[in-house]
Structure 1
Amino acid sequence: MALPLPACLGRKASYKIIVFGLLSFLVLSGFGYRTLHTQSPLEYLYPVDYTPPPAHIFDLGHPTFADIRQYERALPQHRMPTFLMKNRPRYVYFPNEAWGTGWNNVFQEQLLNTHLAYLSNRGYVFVDYIARDHPPFPDTLPDGTRHMLHIPMNALTSGPTGGGSLGQGADPKSVRAVSLEWWDAVCPSEQVVEVPVGETVQELNITDASAGEERLVRWAGKLRSIEAECVKVVGGSPFDYMFIGGDKVLSMWPSYGNSPTVKEYAWSALVTRAISRNFALLSSEALPPSLSPSLSRITTTPGAGNTSSPYPLAAFSPLRTSGPPIDGLMALHVRRGDYADHCKNLAGWGVDYNAWNTFGRPDMRATGRYPPLPDYLSVPGGVERYDASYRHCWPTAEQIVERVRAVRAVSESGESFPAQYLRAVYIATNGEAEWVNALAELLKRDGWETVSSSLDMGLAQDEFAVSQAVDMGVLTSAETFIGVGFSSLTSNVVQLRLGGGRHPDTNRFW
């Protein structure tokens, strides 16, 4: 029979047992937390190293983007929340973002909705871009079934809109963006609160006359006030592409232009790899660190591989728009193709420049609230507005050379910003090869050392699927940029250049 312990020893033993129990609980809880925190529900749907191969992707020759799918699934926010988390993440999904328009129209809306989600302390839900028409990738099988090309967000951007970091200065309550696949896994329909756009704009007293800043603040307040973790905005979008294309969107800039969405923007590793491999077209200088692959992740010499066997995407860090520009490069956006007729329509409608391109208007500059761009839709005396608009939209090859020469002189003068010694030109264009080559020859005759274009880019299949973003990666990285004021592509380049710290005067229009 055991002898009873002295009272003091019993108290000490009890104390030790309690402490041991608490420590055991914390250790086990911590272990449980780490286990749950690192286990994604997507891993129950798909093994980590497996991407379901839809037959139509192979039948139509579409790129699979398998490595990007795995990258998205492995994002750190794609982890199960646990009972130990003080604040469970909340999300907002916008299923009715612009569809059936060009990617840049869609992307304008996605960027603004990313910022709205940020102000609402919710994670933005990102989706694939479904390309309605994307030659040379066919979208119809022999039996007539249609399967359009699906491009994952992180084939285009790996910034905050694609689930990237919000940066050190972000609101501590902020939540990183998550994929639609994650939303479907953690937000079952019975837990989703739907917010109808029509009823909400009436509730918030938002009208066609409401400025962008007013809409933004009221929508953010509404979404913050909802306790549910999963919110779905249905029946439209807070900011559709018609609203974004006008000047009412501009009042958002003080908030939006300084947000993580724009400040922390980064092109995807896929875009970065494509620019890295084609860097010799843009500069005779050595490959900068921002475009250099990590030798620790490849088994061959520096570079970016080749078109048939490019280096793995894991070797590249997404190219940040806040990084240093490509020394000596002037980049041009020269829209052709469908703009042959569209420029006539735009000139006939008497519309202004698209969205952020209107910062140069005298009335916008006078407010002192916005980046003072040097150009706007000017109509010289004695010239009809239609004729002036058409020239700004569809300049001839000779007019392009003349404009490039004038902008180069300003850039090299050092009057508005440190002088740039511009030596190379890159032309982002969808023009016919014969016309583009003739323009390139005219520019060379005008004294440019190197002239290249979209047609010269050597792209792998998956890179070609995002060739527009590859062009934009170059446009945002150039020292000076000239674009089409009416274009949403140019508008996105301008906002990303401004957000990345490029001087306003390095953004020009035809």
Structure 2
Amino acid sequence: MAFSTYSSSSTKSRYTYERLPFHANDRRSPSPPPAKRSSRRARKLLTAFATTLAVVVTFRICIHELTGVPTYQDIKRYERRLPQHDLDLPFPEGRHGRYVKFVPYTGYGWNNELQDIIMVAQIALLADRGYAFQPYIWSTNPFTPVVAQLDLSFRSAQIPLNAFISGPISGNDRWEFEAGAQNGSMSSTASHPPPRSISYDWWEVVCPPERRVVVDVQQTCRELGIEWGAPVRDIIERWAQKLHAMNDTCVEVSGDRLFTFFDYGEKRLLSAWDILSTSPVLKQLTWSPLVNTILYQNLPLLQSPSPSVTHHDVIATTLKGLLAVHIRRGDFYKHCLDRFKYNSEYNGWNSFPDYPDVFDPPPAQQSATSGITASPRADSYTRHCYPSLDQIVDRINLVRDEWYQQTGQTLDRVYVMTNAKSGFLDALRRRLTTASESGSWKAVVTTRDLSVPSHSMEVVVAADMLIGEKAEVFVGNGFSSLSSNINLIRRSIGQPATSSRFWHSDHVPPANSTSP
């Protein structure tokens, strides 16, 4: 069959190539025009995208079911519906409001993030800006909400802040100030209350990229004359003045985090106490209903309340007779080794001078590369940071006896917040509940003994902190941010300084006296 062409000198055709003539019996259709091919490709791409999206959504739903990790959908819904998330609100909120978002802590423990949240929220309040509060961020992986751990357990990549705390920091209340106090901003003549905190999600709505002004941490610190090792109070006040003076409504702080581990781990953090001690950032900081419920449901393990005691009464009072202790084991050995290497002092909020127990770091004379016990003077660090079972038992009994000498009050129950293994805890319980020269304890309860529903397991660390906050006496680890934050909160609610103790003291203790 001869080829024919659709191109000729007399006929203009858009086809310029030769092809076989179409035969009636040939079932093949001629190729569609380019426009139809593009439309078909678009439909295929749209179908593929929809299928992929459905798979991702199904995976995100199923992974929670498979791992048992909670979704926090009710809390996320609550945060979305906060009343300040409204573009039509009047200044300084709404679409023309003043807001600030700081560099978030990610991939660290809850208490590392909490101590930073408190500090940057204070700056936002002083600057008269709405604080964009972050969730607790363990991982920023956008593909999965659940993260696998080395021990084959699972945890949420991110947890909404209101699962842990309540109050103005997490946006569920307005800032309130004591009688006669200013509204907390840099201006004493502000005609409006400070804007409320907003969520990260709402920040994306009210502060789209074209409205944001980005401020770099290192560059701004140089401009403000903030040098390494500056008092933390200076950092707070200079940054607040900077952010208050800016006319831009949406300011995003980028680059390095504003406060470092050194800021939180040294005594110069205490310079910020005068600001925080009267600030609603700390005064109105409370625990979430999820956390409070854990305490209330486990109260019979910690205290024998009157039948008339209400949930509010429990949260508002001290747990009389309870000694709460914080014992870190496992991976904390490496942390203690690092503290020994660098001749570190106690974490900032553990360093108030009126605490009865103090730590004077011994001179750094030898390398600790082979372990804490490599130095003859390292015994001081082990006693303060990683005490042995014998040292823990002796210290608990001594603190009880000294408290009775000082106050006439008897401590009869111990609550142990810990990551220790069950064998260690069983031995500790036997030692403390067995009759001895110092007397036995009525009960020893650990974190493992708490009755916690599955949807609350990830916030049990906050329940530990609440119990430590409400205990009559607290023995903390001076090098721990968890103990540091507990002591900060205990101080803010008026617990006496003498009730905050540590695992060892470089002061000579008084002679032992057995309580009745």
Give the TM-score, by structure 2 length: 0.74
Contact 1:106/1:241 (<8 A) preserved: no
Matched with 1:180 is 200
Matched with 1:438 is 427
Q: Say which SS state the counterpart of residue 275 (structure 1) adopts.
A: helix
Q: Say which SS state the counterpart of residue 341 (structure 2) adopts.
A: helix
Q: Aligned partners of 1:148 and 1:156: how far apart in 2?
A: 13
- Kindly indicate whether residue 431 of structure 2 is the aligned counterpart of residue 411 of structure 1: no
- Which residue identity is paired with 2:396? V
Call closer, same or farther: CA 1:161–1:432 in 2, change over 3 Å: same
Q: CA deviation at 1:339?
A: 1.4
- Kindly indicate whether residue 318 of structure 2 is the aligned counterpart of residue 328 of structure 1: no
Give me the identity figure in percent.
34
Matched with 1:11 is none
Question: Please, which of 482, 488, 500 is the counterpart of residue 495 of structure 1?
Answer: 488
Q: CA deviation at 1:138?
A: 6.1
Q: Aligned partners of 2:91 and 2:346: how far apart in 1?
A: 51
Q: Aligned partners of 2:202 and 2:307: how far apart in 1?
A: 37
Contact 2:166/2:286 (<8 A) preserved: yes
Q: Aligned partners of 2:500 and 2:419: how far apart in 1?
A: 21
Contact 1:348/1:386 (<8 A) preserved: no
Q: CA deviation at 1:149?
A: 2.6
Q: Aligned partners of 2:75 and 2:306: how far apart in 1?
A: 28
- Which residue identity is paired with 2:382? Y
Q: CA deviation at 1:437?
A: 1.5
Q: Say which SS state the counterpart of residue 147 (structure 2) adopts.
A: coil
- Kindly indicate whether residue 231 of structure 2 is the aligned counterpart of residue 239 of structure 1: no
Q: CA deviation at 1:200?
A: 0.5
Q: CA deviation at 1:280?
A: 1.1
Q: CA deviation at 1:326?
A: 1.1
Q: Say which SS state the counterpart of residue 287 (structure 2) adopts.
A: coil
Q: CA deviation at 1:85?
A: 7.3
- Kindly indicate whether residue 338 of structure 2 is the aligned counterpart of residue 345 of structure 1: yes
- Which residue identity is paired with 2:176? G
- Kindly indicate whether residue 479 of structure 2 is the aligned counterpart of residue 486 of structure 1: yes
- Kindly indicate whether residue 359 of structure 2 is the aligned counterpart of residue 377 of structure 1: yes
1:390-422 deviation per Cα after TM superposition (whole angstroms, max 9, x unaligned): 111111222112111221122223x3xx54332
Matched with 1:364 is none
Contact 1:89/1:229 (<8 A) preserved: yes
Contact 1:420/1:479 (<8 A) preserved: no
Question: Please, which of 440, 462, 472 is the counterpart of residue 469 of structure 1?
Answer: 462
What does residue range 101-140 of structure 1 map to in structure 2 within 5 Å? 101-131=108-138, 139-140=147-148
What does residue range 254-265 of structure 1 map to in structure 2 within 5 Å? 254-265=274-285
- Kindly indicate whether residue 176 of structure 2 is the aligned counterpart of residue 167 of structure 1: yes
Call closer, same or farther: CA 1:325–1:287 in 2, change over 3 Å: farther
Matched with 2:164 is 156
Call closer, same or farther: CA 1:264–1:292 in 2, change over 3 Å: closer
1:295-320 deviation per Cα after TM superposition (whole angstroms, max 9, x unaligned): xxxxxxxxxxxxxxxxxxxxxxxx86
1:344-394 deviation per Cα after TM superposition (whole angstroms, max 9, x unaligned): 33223211111111113xxxxxxxxxxx2111114799x954210111111
Greater Cα shift, 184-193 or 57-66: 57-66
Q: Aligned partners of 2:431 and 2:275: how far apart in 1?
A: 43
- Which residue identity is paired with 2:74? D
Give structure 2 stretches of 5+ with no counterpart.
1-56, 185-191, 364-374, 504-516
Q: CA deviation at 1:71?
A: 2.3
Contact 1:283/1:327 (<8 A) preserved: yes
Call closer, same or farther: CA 1:83–1:71 in 2, change over 3 Å: closer
Q: CA deviation at 1:236?
A: 1.8
Question: Please, which of 288, 307, 328 is the counterpart of residue 268 of structure 1?
Answer: 288
1:205-246 deviation per Cα after TM superposition (whole angstroms, max 9, x unaligned): 111132111111110000001122211101122212332222
Q: Aligned partners of 2:465 and 2:334: how far apart in 1?
A: 23
Greater Cα shift, 211-220 or 481-490: 211-220
Matched with 1:277 is 297
Call closer, same or farther: CA 1:287–1:189 in 2, change over 3 Å: farther
Q: CA deviation at 1:502?
A: 0.8
Matched with 2:25 is none
Q: Aligned partners of 2:109 and 2:219: how far apart in 1?
A: 28
Call closer, same or farther: CA 1:201–1:453 in 2, change over 3 Å: same
- Kindly indicate whether residue 395 of structure 2 is the aligned counterpart of residue 388 of structure 1: no
Q: Say which SS state the counterpart of residue 505 (structure 1) adopts.
A: helix
Q: Which runs of 4+ in 1 moved over 4 A?
A: 83-88, 287-290, 378-381
Call closer, same or farther: CA 1:287–1:423 in 2, change over 3 Å: farther
- Kindly indicate whether residue 91 of structure 2 is the aligned counterpart of residue 71 of structure 1: no
Matched with 2:105 is 98
Contact 1:98/1:106 (<8 A) preserved: yes
Q: CA deviation at 1:287?
A: 6.9
Contact 2:468/2:474 (<8 A) preserved: yes
Contact 2:345/2:361 (<8 A) preserved: no
Call closer, same or farther: CA 1:435–1:233 in 2, change over 3 Å: same
Q: CA deviation at 1:184?
A: 1.3
- Kindly indicate whether residue 479 of structure 2 is the aligned counterpart of residue 459 of structure 1: no
Q: Aligned partners of 1:353 and 1:447: how far apart in 2?
A: 31
1:145-178 deviation per Cα after TM superposition (whole angstroms, max 9, x unaligned): x995321101111133212433343546322221
Give structure 1 stretches of 5+ with no counterpart.
1-51, 294-318, 361-371
What does residue range 302-321 of structure 1 map to in structure 2 within 5 Å? none
1:180-201 deviation per Cα after TM superposition (whole angstroms, max 9, x unaligned): 1111121111111111112111
Q: Say which SS state the counterpart of residue 351 (structure 2) adopts.
A: helix
Contact 1:63/1:462 (<8 A) preserved: yes
Call closer, same or farther: CA 1:85–1:428 in 2, change over 3 Å: closer
What does residue range 23-38 of structure 1 map to in structure 2 within 5 Å? none
Q: Aligned partners of 1:86 and 1:198: how far apart in 2?
A: 29
Q: Which has the larger radius of gyration?
A: 2
What does residue range 38-53 of structure 1 map to in structure 2 within 5 Å? none
Call closer, same or farther: CA 1:86–1:191 in 2, change over 3 Å: closer
Call closer, same or farther: CA 1:110–1:92 in 2, change over 3 Å: same
Contact 1:347/1:387 (<8 A) preserved: no
Q: CA deviation at 1:342?
A: 2.4
The root-mean-square deviation of aligned C-alpha atoms, in Å, is 2.8
What does residue range 168-247 of structure 1 map to in structure 2 within 5 Å? 168-169=177-178, 170-171=183-184, 173-247=193-267
Q: Say which SS state the counterpart of residue 193 (structure 1) adopts.
A: strand
Q: CA deviation at 1:451?
A: 1.1
